[in-house]
Amino acid sequence: MNFFNRNHEKVMLVKSLFALFLFMMFANLSKAQNVVKIDDNVPQHIFSYGEIEYLEDPERVFTFDEIRKPEMSARFQKSQTYTPKYYNDKSVYWYKIRIKQTKASRRHWILEFFDQTITDITLYAPVGENNFQVYNFGNKYHFVKREYKHKNFTVDLVNNSDSVATYYVKLSSTQAANVIIVLRDIHRFIEYALDEYLIFGLFYGMIIIFSLYNLLMYFAIRKSQYLYYVLYNLGVGFYEMCSDGIAFQYIWPNQPWLNEYAVGISLFLSTIFGLLFTINFLYLRSKAPMLYKTIIGLIIAGCGFFVVCLFNTQLFSYKILEAIPLLFAYYCGFYVLKRGYGLARFYVIGYTFLLIGFTIKILLFLNVPWLPYGPVTHYSLSFCFVIEMILVSFAIGDSIRQMRKRKDYVHKRMIKQLQINDELKDTLNKELSSLVAQRTEEVVEKAHVIEKQNQELSAMNKRMIKQLQINDELKDTLNKELSSLVAQRTEEVVEKAHVIEKQNQELSAMNQLLKEQAENISRMNVLLEADNQELHVNIEKVTRARVMSQDVDFSEFSKIYPDREACFKFLSELKWANGYACKKCGNTNYLAGFLPYSRRCTKCRYDESVIANTLFQNSKIPINKSFYMLFLIYSSKGNISSHKLSEILSIRQSTCWSYGGKIKKVMEERKKELKNAGEQGWSKLVLDHHEKSEH
C-alpha cells in the first residue's frame, strides 16, 4: 500500500513538473515578438499588435547601443493596440520590429511611416551582421532631404539574405502621433501613391470649386455668410493639407519650422469661420439670442487659447477640444430647425456627417481596439467633410431659393401697393379738381359781384362829374348875371357886394367839397382796380397751383405757357432775375435784341438769346412742349417713359428718349438742390450750373 502511495506521489510530481515546463515554454513563446515575413504574394503589410514592441524613455537618456543590450530587450512591451500611439511629448519612444528577409524575393521593398506630423524619426536599419544604417526623417527636416519625394516618410529595405532582421525606431514629437509602419513593395507603393494623389486632387479641387462658387455668390449678393463659408472651406482644406503633409511638400518645403504651427492655425481658422458661418446662416442673433452670445463667447475663448498655443506649440496637440464648438454648432442647427427654420435641415444633416467623421478621428486618437486603421477610417473626416460641404451648399442654395421667393412676393406686394397708390392718386386728383372747380366758381362769382360794384361806382362817378359840370355851368351863368347886374346896377352891386361875396364864399366851399368827393371817388376807383387786378392774379395762381400739383394734359398746361411768347417771357424773368451782365464784356446796359426777349449789349453789341445757356438751347422741340416735357419728367421724378412722353406730346419716341435723358441727367446732378424745392422745383432745372453760379 505504501509502495503504491509513493508511486502515486512520484507520478503527481512528474506531472506537476511537466505542466510547469509547458507553462514556462508557452509563456516564453507568448513573450516572443511576432516576425513579419516578406512575401511576394502579399504586396503590403501594416505592423500591428504584437508585431511592434515599444519602450518609453522619459529621461531621453538611452543610446542605441544601450537599447540593443539583452537586459534592455526584456523591457520592451508588445503593442496592445492595432497601432501604437505617441502621447507623451516629453518622452522619447523606442520601437522595434522584426522582418524575415527573403533573398529569393523578386520585388523591391520599402518601409513607410504614415503619420506626417511626427517631428523626428531615427531609423536604425540592419546592414549585414551587427551593422546598422541610420536614417533621419521627420517634419523638422527639409523636404528635399527625403529619399523619396513623397508626403510619407519612406526608406528602402535591404533584402539580401534569408535571416530575421530587427529594425529599431527612435521617435520624438511635439504632439500626439500615430506610429503606423507599413511594409510595402515598390509597385504597390506607386499604385497606391497615384491613387491617393488623384483623390487628393479631387478633394482639394472640390474645395476650390465650392469656395469659388460661394465667393461669386458673395460678390453677387453681398451676404457675409458666403464669405465666412468660403473661409471655412479654405480653413478645412488647409488643415487637411497640413495633416496629410501636402502643404509641407508643395507650399513650404524649405521652412520645416512652420509644421509646428500649421495644423493648429488651420484648425483654429476653420473653427472660427465655421462658427461665424453658423451665426450668419442660422440668424442666431434674432432666432436664438442666448445661443448667439454663447458662440461669441466660444470664439473669444478660442482666440485666447490660440494665442497661448502660439507661445506653447505643444498645446496644439489638444485637438479634441475642437469637438466643443463643433457639437455646439450642431446643437444650434438642431435647435433652430426644431423652432421651424426649415432651411437648417441640410445644415443639420451635413454637420451630422461631419460629427461622425470627427468621432471616428477621436476614436482613432484614443486607440479604440475595435476600430482598426485603414483607408476608410484614416480619411473618414475628409469623406465626411465633402458630404457636409455638398449638403451645406444645398442649404445655401435652398436659402437663395427662399430669398428669391420672398423677393418675388415683396415685388408683387409692391406692384399691388403701387396700383392702390395710383387709384388713391386718381381719387385725390378728382377730389382736388372738384374743389378747384368749386373754388374757381366762387372766385368768378365774387369777381362778377366786384365788377357789378365797379359798374355802380362808375355810374355814381359819372353822375357826380355831371353834377360838377352843372355846377360849373350854373357858376358861369351866375357870373354873367352878376356882370350884367354890375353894369346895370352899379349902385346895387356896391350895396350888395358884401352879400354876393358871401354867396361866392359859400359857392367856393361847395366846390371844394365837390372836388374832395371827386378825389375820394377816384381813390375808390383805384382801389377797386387794384382789387380786380389782385383777383385776376389769384385766379392765375390757383390755376398755376392746380397745374403744378397733379398730372395735367397739354391743353391745361398751356394755360400758363400758351405760346412761344409766354415761354420766352418766363425764361427772361428767370434768367435775368438778378440783373443783366454781358457774357462777353460784363457790361450791364442792354438794348432789345433781334429775337423776342433777347438782349443786346450796348458796348460790344453781343446779342444773347433768351434760351442761350439754358436746358432748351439747341432743342428742335417747340418751346412750350419742351416746357411740358420738363414738367412731366420732374413731377414723375424721372419715372415716365419715353413712349409715354411720345404719346402725350405727339413727338417721336427717339426724340423724347434723347431729350428726356438729358433732363434726367440734370435732375440727378442737382438731386440735393431739388430735394426741398417744392412745386417750382422743375424751373430750377432750366439754367445750367454756370449760369446759376453767375447769378
> Alpha-carbon distance 660 to 290, whole Å?
55
Residue 161 has pLDDT above 70, yes or no: yes
DSSP single-letter state for residue 314: G
Average pLDDT of the chain is 80
Residue 663 lies in a domain: yes
70-93 in b/e form (b: 16+ CB < 10 A) is: eeeeeebebbebbbbbbeeeeebb
Q: Which percentage of the chain shows pLDDT scores above 70?
A: 84
**Could you tell me whether strands 36-37 and 92-100 are parallel, antiparallel, or unpaired per DSSP bridges?**
parallel
Q: Are residues 367 and 514 in the same domain?
A: no
Q: Are residues 538 and 610 in the same domain?
A: no
**Residue 425 grid coordinates:** 392718386
Inter-residue contact 174 to 313 (CB < 8 Å): yes
Inter-residue contact 615 to 663 (CB < 8 Å): yes
Structure confidence at residue 540 (pLDDT): 53
Residue 351 lies in a domain: yes
Q: Are residues 101 and 228 in the same domain?
A: no
Residue 557 has pLDDT above 60, yes or no: yes
Determine the residue type at 309.
C
Structure confidence at residue 111 (pLDDT): 93
> Alpha-carbon distance 178 to 364, whole Å?
9
Residue 404 lies in a domain: no
Q: Please list, in sequence order, all residues whose beta carbon lies within 8 angstroms of the beta carbon of residue 430, skipping any fewer than 6 positions away.
A: none
Residue 206 lies in a domain: no
**Could you tell me whether strands 164-172 and 177-178 are parallel, antiparallel, or unpaired per DSSP bridges?**
unpaired
Residue ending a domain, among 514, 534, 550, is 550
DSSP, residue by residue, 521-584: HHHHHHHHHHHHHHHHHHHHHHHHHHHHTS---HHHHTTTS-SHHHHHHHHHHHHTTT----TT
Residue ending a domain, among 494, 518, 550, is 550
Report CA-CA distances (Å) from 690 to 311, 372, 623, 634. Answer: 66, 85, 22, 21
Residue 679 lies in a domain: yes
More confident residue, 30 or 608: 608
Structure confidence at residue 528 (pLDDT): 63
Torsion angle of the four alpha carbons 408, 410, 414, 417, in this order, in degrees rounded to the nearest 10 = 120
Long-range contact pairs involving 84-88 (C-beta distance under 8 Å, separation at least 24)? 84/52, 84/54, 84/178, 84/179, 84/367, 85/176, 85/177, 85/178, 85/179, 85/365, 85/367, 86/118, 86/171, 86/173, 86/176, 86/177, 86/178, 86/179, 87/176, 88/56, 88/58
Residue 677 has pLDDT above 70, yes or no: no
Residue 220 has pLDDT above 70, yes or no: yes
More confident residue, 230 or 543: 230
- 317 CB neighbour count, 10 Å cutoff: 20
**Residue 229 grid coordinates:** 463659408
pLDDT confidence of 451, banded at 50, 70, 90? confident
Q: Are residues 588 and 516 in the same domain?
A: no
Determine the residue type at 24.
M
Structure confidence at residue 19 (pLDDT): 40
Q: Are residues 37 and 113 in the same domain?
A: yes
pLDDT confidence of 296, banded at 50, 70, 90? very high
Structure confidence at residue 28 (pLDDT): 40
pLDDT confidence of 169, banded at 50, 70, 90? very high
Residue 395 lies in a domain: no
Which of 177-181, 259-263, 268-272, 362-366 holds the top average pLDDT? 268-272
The angle formed by the CA atoms of residues 480, 482 and 487, to the nearest 5 degrees, is 95
Inter-residue contact 85 to 367 (CB < 8 Å): yes
> Alpha-carbon distance 499 to 497, whole Å?
5
> Alpha-carbon distance 557 to 567, whole Å?
12
| Average pLDDT value for residue range 479-497 | 71
Residue 241 lies in a domain: yes
**Domains in the chain, number:** 5
| Average pLDDT value for residue range 52-58 | 91
More confident residue, 671 or 305: 305
> Alpha-carbon distance 16 to 21, whole Å?
9
Q: Are residues 647 and 498 in the same domain?
A: no
Structure confidence at residue 17 (pLDDT): 40
Q: Are residues 162 and 48 in the same domain?
A: yes
Q: What is the pLDDT of residues 351-405, one digit of tens each?
A: 888 888 878 877 766 666 666 666 677 777 777 888 888 887 777 776 777 667 7
Inter-residue contact 589 to 627 (CB < 8 Å): no
Long-range contact pairs involving 138-143 (C-beta distance under 8 Å, separation at least 24)? 138/173, 139/245, 139/248, 139/256, 139/259, 140/256, 140/257, 140/259, 141/256, 142/253, 142/254, 142/256, 143/248, 143/249, 143/253, 143/254, 143/256
Lowest mean pLDDT among 97-101, 369-373, 549-553, 619-623: 549-553
- Domain extent, residue 607, equals 555-694
Residue 688 has pLDDT above 60, yes or no: yes
Residue 94 has pLDDT above 80, yes or no: yes
Residue with cell 523591457: 75
Q: Are residues 317 and 439 in the same domain?
A: no
Residue ending a domain, among 152, 174, 192, is 192
Residue 456 three-state SS = helix
DSSP single-letter state for residue 177: E
Give bridge partners of residue 45 from the DSSP assignment.
Answer: 183
Long-range contact pairs involving 411-416 (C-beta distance under 8 Å, separation at least 24)? none
Structure confidence at residue 679 (pLDDT): 56
User: Taking the alpha carbons of 52, 57, 63, 68 in that order, is the dihedral positive or negative?
Assistant: negative
> Alpha-carbon distance 279 to 297, whole Å?
12
Give the CATH number, domain containing residue 147: 2.60.40.2380
pLDDT confidence of 567, banded at 50, 70, 90? confident
Q: Are residues 272 and 366 in the same domain?
A: yes
User: H or E segment at 608?
Assistant: strand 607-608
Residue with cell 462658427: 275
Q: Are residues 20 and 58 in the same domain?
A: no
More confident residue, 546 or 681: 681
Q: What is the pLDDT of residues 616-669, one digit of tens each?
A: 888 888 888 888 888 888 888 888 888 888 888 888 888 888 888 888 888 888
Q: Which percentage of the chain shows pLDDT scores above 90?
A: 11
Q: Are residues 143 and 183 in the same domain?
A: yes
Structure confidence at residue 183 (pLDDT): 92
> Alpha-carbon distance 138 to 120, whole Å?
4
pLDDT confidence of 300, banded at 50, 70, 90? very high
Q: How far apart are the first and last CA of the chain?
A: 150
Global pTM reads: 0.54
Provide φ and ψ at 97, rounded to 5°: -130, 155
DSSP, residue by residue, 632-648: HHHHTTT-S-HHHHHHH
Provide φ and ψ at 552, rounded to 5°: -125, 160
User: H or E segment at 113?
Assistant: strand 109-113
Residue 32 three-state SS = coil
Residue 399 lies in a domain: no
Which of 14-23, 284-293, 552-561, 628-637 holds the top average pLDDT? 284-293
240-273 in b/e form (b: 16+ CB < 10 A) is: bbbbbbbbbbeeeeeebeebbebbbbbbbbbbbb
256 sits in the region (left: phi over 0; alpha: psi -120 to 50; else beta) called alpha
Report CA-CA distances (Å) from 81 to 52, 53, 402. Answer: 10, 11, 51
Q: Are residues 457 and 590 in the same domain?
A: no
User: E strands of 138-274, at which residues?
Assistant: 153-156, 164-172, 177-178, 181-185
